[in-house]
Amino acid sequence: MSAPASRPRDDAPDALSVLNSVFGLPGFRGAQEQIVRHVTGGGNCLVLMPTGGGKSLCYQLPSLLREGCGIVVSPLIALMRDQVAGLLEAGVNAAVLNSTLTFAESSEVERRLLAGDLDVLYVAPERLLTPRCLNLLGQAKIALFAIDEAHCVSQWGHDFRPEYIGLSAIAERFPDVPRIALTATADEMTRKEIVARLGLDGAPSFVASFDRPNIRYEIVEKQNAPAQLKAFIEERHAGDAGIVYCLSRAKVEDTAVALTRAGIPALPYHAGLEPGVRARNQDRFINEDGVVIVATIAFGMGIDKPDVRFVAHLDLPKSIEAYYQETGRAGRDGKPSSAWMTYGLSDIVQQRRMIDESTGSDAFKRISIGKLDALVALAETAGCRRSRLLGYFGEDATSGNCGNCDNCLSPPQLRDGKVAAQKFLSCAYRTGQRFGAMHLIDVLVGRLTERVTQFGHDKLSVFGIGAELNEKQWRAVVRQLVAMGHLQADSEAFGALKLTESARGVLKGETEVMLREAPAGTRVRASRTRSRRGDLAPRAEGKPADAGLAATLRAWRSEIARKRNVPAYVVLHDATIDGIAAARPASLNDLRNIAGIGDKKLEHYGEELIALVRSAGT
């Protein structure tokens, strides 16, 4: 059964007036208005917009402007909960249908949908595809379908979810209902698959800039990762909320314990924890200030917390898409934030082995290796990391110097590395291409270890020919040779490095090899990277916020959030708090002009906020 045809409401107000009255925002950003008008008029589209770029408004506003209820498909229970809480605060009739509801609660939501009492309904994909839910939607007036995290539909995406495949049924069963697919990360191959699977052929794609100028990108050589992480947080983000990503559950646990012992409030999050513990840790991270969550990549999608000041990776992600998605969870509020990662040769070897040992097809493995190679190239580039990152997504960054990544702030020096490359490649070849980097470095620097003498490698012509470089320098050479494609990890011999076809040109002297050297000061100066006072941070327009009043407002917000059992940012975003503390509104009319204060929030909190401003002035 197809849903009754929906159309723009006969009495629909202007999109801009709803944006202002409901969400308290003075205007649209980027392509938002074009998208909203296109979907409100009944059009399908694909939207690519970075985290924090305002994707949710692109389907929430049309849901209010069209007849019926907007159905938002999301795999993320935390996102559903937070977005519904935010919509209810703004006076929008919103609800969820997912596994957290009892039968009675689900029945009530279904009743409200059929009665036309909902503006927006969030549904998990596996729930939507049940016969009961499809039949329910067939009887309701549906304004639109929004498929959030649409990259999950693609097997080439970084977060493929099989349950998303069935969403092709939406186009088949509800052909007259507009569909909007949204994601923050998708390369060209992933975009094509989203369009094909969700029946969006011929529909326009709205691609916003992938640039997140408030995020500072920094990638450092992995030496003692726990100590490096501790120093990074203490020097640059003391007291800030942050996310630390690790590849294994054991590393998550160990890192959380180490940070806690160092006086940094840190909590673990991974699939092996008891559900109750996992939920409590997530709630503390969302609702409390300054909590650091240490997690596997399962954490973070759908976490709408705007004031995450840093994302740190202790292990290499699988692809640039994954790196971009995960780092994008920092600084959703537009304030200065950091994306920091430690990286070493062992990360490449580990990721390569995981690909080779996977059960995927040869085509899948080839594409996965290509994605890994692109990420390694980002880690090893001597140029602007932001330009490299944006270029991966097909966006031209012509300046070549963003002024807010480690390479632009402390440019590495390049040197002719042909001789060093030839020495290492020769060493790998003459030892049979059966050994890992550390053994080869031992041979090159002339170190008489037990293994070197056991295999007779001290008798080779390459023994000791690389003594001019130390171990750290040789490790940098090896990583860059792997990044350039002249060396690769052998999946059949754990950790072994073997030459590729391109190595031949290096050995013959036909291929130039320029290697990056870390600058004398390998760390970006702390004074240039303070999370709240960065000299390159976007500056707020107008008067600065009154620090004392801002602190008072935050304390009031925390108390309101606790009473209402919602995250603090659902009550008011930090940017709104800062706006009030800067403008010091003297009347309700003045307060209504602050971004983030819509009609309902003015009604709920206006008098209290004005009283707090007045008391702070006495």
Is the pLDDT reported for residue 254 higher than 80?
Answer: yes
CATH code, domain carrying 583: 1.10.150.80
Q: Which long-range contacts (CB under 8 A, 24 or more apart) does 457-463 make?
A: 457/431, 460/427, 460/430, 460/431, 461/430, 462/423, 462/426, 462/427, 462/430, 462/431
Do 403 and 421 belong to one domain? no
Q: Which pLDDT value is given to residue 130? A: 92
- Using an 8 Å Cβ cutoff, are 6 and 142 in contact? yes
Answer with the one of 172, 207, 242 that is the final residue of a domain. 207
- At residue 99 the predicted structure's pLDDT band, cuts being 50, 70 and 90, is confident
Q: Is residue 533, in this structure, part of any structural domain at all?
A: no
Is the pLDDT reported for residue 468 higher than 70?
Answer: yes
Q: Is the backbone of residue 407 left (phi > 0), alpha (psi -120 to 50) or beta? A: alpha
DSSP per-residue string spanning 353-406:
HHHHTS---HHHHHHHHHHHHHHHHHHH-SS-HHHHHHHHTT---TTS--SSBH
Is the pLDDT reported for residue 566 higher than 90?
Answer: no
Q: Which pLDDT value is given to residue 524? A: 44
Bridge partners for 216 per DSSP: 338
- Cα separation, 56 vs 146, in Å, equals 9
Residue-wise burial string across 123-150, b where 16 or more C-beta atoms lie within 10 A, e elsewhere: bbbbbbbeeebbebbeebbbbbbbbbbb
Do 203 and 278 belong to one domain? no
Do 38 and 123 belong to one domain? yes
How many other CB atoms are there within 10 angstroms of residue 27's CB atom? 10
- Using an 8 Å Cβ cutoff, are 312 and 243 in contact? yes
- At residue 142 the predicted structure's pLDDT band, cuts being 50, 70 and 90, is very high
Do 363 and 420 belong to one domain? no
- Cα separation, 139 vs 144, in Å, equals 14
Amino acid at site 151:
H
Do 251 and 312 belong to one domain? yes
With a CB cutoff of 8 Å and minimum separation 6, the contacts of 515 are 414, 415, 416, 417, 420, 421, 476, 477, 480
- At residue 423 the predicted structure's pLDDT band, cuts being 50, 70 and 90, is very high
Q: Is residue 329, in this structure, part of any structural domain at all?
A: yes
Q: Measured over all CA atoms, what is the biggest interatomic distance in the chain, rounded to whole angstroms?
A: 88
Most confident of 343-347, 449-453, 525-529, 561-565: 449-453
Helix (H), strand (E), coil (C) string for 240-262: CEEEEECCCHHHHHHHHHHHHHC
Q: Is residue 308, in this structure, part of any structural domain at all?
A: yes
- Least confident range of 88-97, 149-158, 547-556: 149-158
CATH code, domain carrying 276: 3.40.50.300
Q: Is residue 8, in this structure, part of any structural domain at all?
A: no
Is the pLDDT reported for residue 410 higher than 50?
Answer: yes
For the whole prediction, is pTM greater than 0.75? yes
User: By percentage, how much of the chain surpasses pLDDT 90?
Assistant: 59
- Cα separation, 553 vs 563, in Å, equals 15
Do 451 and 436 belong to one domain? yes
- Report residue 343 CA to chain centroid gap: 18
- Cα separation, 377 vs 385, in Å, equals 10
Q: Is residue 563, in this structure, part of any structural domain at all?
A: yes
Q: What is the pLDDT of residues 271-317, one digit of tens each?
A: 899 989 988 998 889 888 899 999 987 665 556 788 899 999 999 99
- Least confident range of 162-166, 199-203, 538-542, 592-596: 538-542
CA distances to 165, 191, 205, 332, 368 from 196, in Å: 11, 9, 13, 30, 21
User: What angle in degrees, to the nearest 10, is found between the helix axes of 471-484 and 418-430?
Assistant: 90
Is the pLDDT reported for residue 535 higher than 50?
Answer: no
Exposure on the CB side of residue 474, measured as CA atoms within 13 A: 25
Do 400 and 317 belong to one domain? yes
Q: What is the pLDDT of residues 199-220, one digit of tens each?
A: 999 999 999 888 999 999 999 9
Q: What is the pLDDT of residues 50-89, one digit of tens each?
A: 877 889 999 999 999 999 999 999 887 777 888 899 999 9
Give the burial class of 527: count Cβ atoms within 10 A of its Cβ; 0-12 exposed, 13-18 middle, 19 or more buried: exposed
Answer with the one of 189, 207, 225 that is the final residue of a domain. 207
Look up residue 446 and give its two tokens: 């002339």
Q: Which pLDDT value is given to residue 13? A: 66
Q: Is residue 294, in this structure, part of any structural domain at all?
A: yes
CATH code, domain carrying 487: 1.10.10.10
Do 77 and 153 belong to one domain? yes
- Choose among 336, 341, 343, 309: nearest CA to 324: 341
Q: Which pLDDT value is given to residue 157? A: 60
Q: Is residue 529, in this structure, part of any structural domain at all?
A: no
* Strand duo 215-221 + 292-295: pairing: unpaired
Q: Which pLDDT value is given to residue 516? A: 86
Amino acid at site 383:
G
Most confident of 187-191, 211-215, 287-291, 570-574: 211-215
Instruction: Identify the helix (H) or strand (E) that includes residue 310.
Output: strand 308-313
Do 40 and 169 belong to one domain? yes
- Cα separation, 24 vs 566, in Å, equals 19
Q: Which pLDDT value is given to residue 594? A: 93
- Cα separation, 579 vs 219, in Å, equals 34
Mean pLDDT in the chain?
87
Amino acid at site 142:
I
Do 239 and 253 belong to one domain? yes
Q: In what order do the strands lie in the sheet with 308-313?
A: 215-221, 337-343, 308-313, 241-245, 292-295, 266-269
Is the pLDDT reported for residue 250 higher than 90?
Answer: yes
Strands of 456-543 (E only): list them: 487-489, 497-499, 514-517
- Cα separation, 319 vs 306, in Å, equals 24
Q: What is the domain count for the chain?
A: 4
- At residue 339 the predicted structure's pLDDT band, cuts being 50, 70 and 90, is very high
Do 384 and 248 belong to one domain? yes
Q: Which pLDDT value is given to residue 156? A: 63
Look up residue 307 and give its two tokens: 């004031």
Helix (H, G, I), strand (E, B) or coil at 32: helix
Query: CA torsion, points 255, 258, 263, 266, in degrees to nearest 10?
Result: 30
Is the pLDDT reported for residue 609 higher than 80?
Answer: yes
Percent helix, strand, coil in the chain (nearest 5)?
A: 45, 15, 40
Q: Which pLDDT value is given to residue 556? A: 94
Q: Which pLDDT value is given to residue 493? A: 63
- Cα separation, 80 vs 5, in Å, equals 26
Q: Which residue has the higher pLDDT, 176 or 159?
A: 176
Q: What is the pLDDT of residues 430-451, one digit of tens each?
A: 999 999 889 999 999 999 999 9
Answer with the one of 410, 428, 449 that is the final residue of a domain. 410
Do 69 and 172 belong to one domain? yes
Considering Cα of 415, then 418, then 423, then 425, what sign does the dihedral take? positive
With a CB cutoff of 8 Å and minimum separation 6, the contacts of 82 are 286, 302, 303, 304, 566, 567, 570
Q: Which residue has the higher pLDDT, 429 or 482?
A: 429
CA distances to 170, 270, 323 from 552, in Å: 48, 35, 36
Q: Which residue has the higher pLDDT, 241 or 305?
A: 241
For residue 284, the enclosing domain spans: 215-410
Q: Is residue 356, in this structure, part of any structural domain at all?
A: yes
- Least confident range of 12-16, 35-39, 278-282: 12-16
pLDDT average, residue stretch 393-416: 86
